[in-house]
Amino acid sequence: MIAKLSVLATIVAMAMAAPTSTTATTTTAAPDAATSASNSAATPILQLSSFNGQFKNQYPPPDAIAPTDTPLVKQWLAELNLTGIPNLPVVPFTDNGDPKDPSAVPADACDWTVTNCINKDLTVCPKGAWGLTYDDGPTQYSPQLYDFLDTTQQKATLFYIGGNVIQYWQSALRACEAGHQLAVHTWSHHPSTSLTNEQFIAEVKYTELAIKEVCGVTTRYFRPPYGDVDNRIRGLLDAMGYINVIWDYDTDDWQMSPGGSRTEAQVDDEFAKWIAAAPNDTTGHIVLEHELYQTTVDAAIKNLPAVQKTWKTVPVAACMNDPHPYREQNVTLATMDGNYTTGITNGSKNTTSSTTSPSSTGKGNSSTSGNRTPITAAGMSGGAMATAGQRLGSFGLTTVLLGAVFAMVL
């Protein structure tokens, strides 16, 4: 996979390219025509935002590594406690997307790209669950995928590229209002370990801010492009309050046309193989798919019905029974155990005992949330990985450890 990173990065950059400007002064996004043309969106469940395309903040160009010298980034850096971040080297990558010198990566880096090392990253769901995830969106192909998910009553975790959120904000808004779990996949889709601490923070926080502007919620889950993560990046994610999500099943759909030569039949065979092996499952799965091309969306639509007959298809937070994938504690997304449904509370019920003050989410006032014993939520300023473990309980930690065994060799 790694040798093809530059190809994918180029294509992602093309997909992200803004229609008009490459300057860092995005204030009004182009209409998301593909989404506008879709009339089949389900009635919104979460009405968190009245966003109309007028971004209040200025954002970097969509295809460039986020700058580190803007007032916003300086503010974010000043707010974060970065003591204790592992002092590991930035990993230079070749133009082909490979680490230039894998042997120079220290063993204690727990570098996933080099050694497939897992360190408390989420890689699987509980047995019986299929963590449904789509990376690299939103794109012009997203409405078709979201229509399908609406029709089949499925929710997914959508790991968004920040630059794409600016361009396809209507799809992003639709997705969060439909109850999908929005999460961060960096601003410009570069390998995480190739970025400095400051660059990585900027990449995450600009994407987080764009989603917040559009949807009114602040994300807490992250997936690194290419799965590229080490203990330095994990420490930075921890400091920012993020839970890192890898996967155990990879469709390699990103290599379908125009990204590569992987055929539809090959992807179909992969799904068929996993379904055939399901009776022997010891865990559930977190599955890597993309909303990147027409081909990848078509593959999802073709194969998900059989998957849905075999597993319960849910977002990652749902399978971990985390009702708060956003920092806003009055927003809940449905959990697999049924203890929570998707909705907005007025703050008097269904909130957690977290000492972190919930942020305002603005306008929502409808509530369909359950009123059950809350699950301890992760704090906002530390211990995302530790608190993920707390939240997951004994099952979760076992699952995470098992995940290391199941991590795919790419």
Structure tokens at 51: 């966003």
Residues 37-96 that bind Zn ion (CB under 5 A): none
Rounded Cα–Cα distance for residues 319 and 315 (Å):
6
Structure tokens at 326: 């956003």
Rounded Cα–Cα distance for residues 264 and 56 (Å):
42
Stretch that binds Zn ion, among 77-85, 109-117, 127-135, 352-360 (CB under 5 A): 127-135
Cα angle 133, 136, 141; round to 5: 90
* C-beta closer to Zn ion: residue 286 or 336: 286
* C-beta closer to Zn ion: residue 222 or 271: 222
Shortest Cβ 89–Zn ion spacing (Å): 23
The CB-nearest residue to Zn ion is 135
Rounded Cα–Cα distance for residues 79 and 84 (Å):
15
* C-beta closer to Zn ion: residue 135 or 203: 135
Name 215's bridge partners: none
Name 262's bridge partners: 256
Rounded Cα–Cα distance for residues 170 and 28 (Å):
12
Number of residues that bind Zn ion (CB under 5 A): 3
* C-beta closer to Zn ion: residue 292 or 344: 292
Residues 159-178 that bind Zn ion (CB under 5 A): none
Shortest Cβ 37–Zn ion spacing (Å): 25
Stretch that binds Zn ion, among 52-60, 133-141, 271-279, 314-322 (CB under 5 A): 133-141
Shortest Cβ 247–Zn ion spacing (Å): 11
Residues 215-234 that bind Zn ion (CB under 5 A): 225
Nearest by Cα to 115 from 102, 124, 104: 102
Structure tokens at 217: 């919620």
* C-beta closer to Zn ion: residue 135 or 198: 135
Residues 317-376 that bind Zn ion (CB under 5 A): none
Instruction: Indicate whether 135 belongs to the interface with Zn ion (CB under 5 A).
Output: yes
Shortest Cβ 265–Zn ion spacing (Å): 23
* C-beta closer to Zn ion: residue 45 or 288: 288
DSSP per residue, 137-174: E--TTHHHHHHHHHHTT---EEEE-HHHHHHTHHHHHH
* C-beta closer to Zn ion: residue 225 or 323: 225
Structure tokens at 113: 């790209």
Rounded Cα–Cα distance for residues 187 and 207 (Å):
5
- Is 290 catalytic? The answer is yes
Q: Which residue out of 135, 230, 250, 298 is catalytically annotated?
A: 135
Q: Which residue out of 290, 298, 322, 324 is catalytically annotated?
A: 290
Stretch that binds Zn ion, among 56-64, 129-137, 193-201, 242-250 (CB under 5 A): 129-137
Helix (H) or strand (E) holding 74: helix 71-79
| 136, 248, 289, 291: which one binds Zn ion (CB under 5 A) | 136
Shortest Cβ 366–Zn ion spacing (Å): 33
Rounded Cα–Cα distance for residues 332 and 65 (Å):
32
In order of 37, 172, 242, 332, 385, the CA distances from 204 in angstroms are: 30, 16, 10, 22, 17
Name 131's bridge partners: 286, 314
Shortest Cβ 292–Zn ion spacing (Å): 8
Query: Are 131 and 319 in contact, with CB atoms under 8 Å apart?
Result: yes
Stretch that binds Zn ion, among 44-52, 131-139, 303-311, 330-338 (CB under 5 A): 131-139
Shortest Cβ 296–Zn ion spacing (Å): 11
Shortest Cβ 185–Zn ion spacing (Å): 6
Instruction: Indicate whether 198 belongs to the interface with Zn ion (CB under 5 A).
Output: no
Rounded Cα–Cα distance for residues 133 and 181 (Å):
9
Nearest by Cα to 119 from 377, 386, 325: 386
Instruction: Indicate whether 99 belongs to the interface with Zn ion (CB under 5 A).
Output: no
* C-beta closer to Zn ion: residue 192 or 303: 192
Residues annotated catalytic, as ranges: 135, 290
- Tell me which residues touch Zn ion (CB under 5 A): 135-136, 225
